[in-house]
Amino acid sequence: MLKRTLIGLLRSHELTGDKAKDPLLKSHFYKMPKEKAWVEIISTLKKMQGIRVLHEVPNVGEIVLEKRTVTGRTMDITVSVIAINPVTTAVDIYSASRGSFGDLGSNYRIILMIYRTLDNKLAAHKITGP
């Protein structure tokens, strides 16, 4: 966590993906069709405290969120819901803080929080890879 805070002094964004060096930032996969995953994910995100859904683009698989931090900064978060095949869906997250200073690791923490919430909601469908 200290390392993340130090990285966050300079960097004000964080993203997940297949090739992420940090295992906690690897894409998350669910054994369910994209359409079904979309419905579950969007309803879960709308219930998360402190997060506001700004845009939903189902055909592209993007959900744009906004979160205000305790310090008053705004975080822009994009959740991508990607069909890997007809029965497997991947979720990736990009989070960036507005402003010119680092985020002290808050983008990293919000990504982990969103993944934890989705994994709890979709626990029966969570898989380690496609």
Model pLDDT for residues 29-82, shown as the tens digit of each residue: 999 999 999 999 999 999 999 999 999 999 999 999 999 887 788 999 999 999
Q: Say how far apart CA 19 and CA 73 lie, in whole Å.
A: 29
* Average confidence (pLDDT) over 96-124: 88
Beta strands in 10-122 (DSSP E): 13-15, 28-30, 51-57, 62-68, 74-85, 88-97
pLDDT of res. 72: 81
**Amino acid at site 41:** I
**CATH architecture of the region 2-127:** 2-Layer Sandwich (3.30)
- Structure tokens belonging to residue 8: 């966050």
**Those residues with Cβ within 8 angstroms of residue 43's Cβ, 6 or more apart along the chain or in another chain:** none
Q: Say how far apart CA 48 and CA 53 lie, in whole Å.
A: 10
pLDDT of res. 56: 96
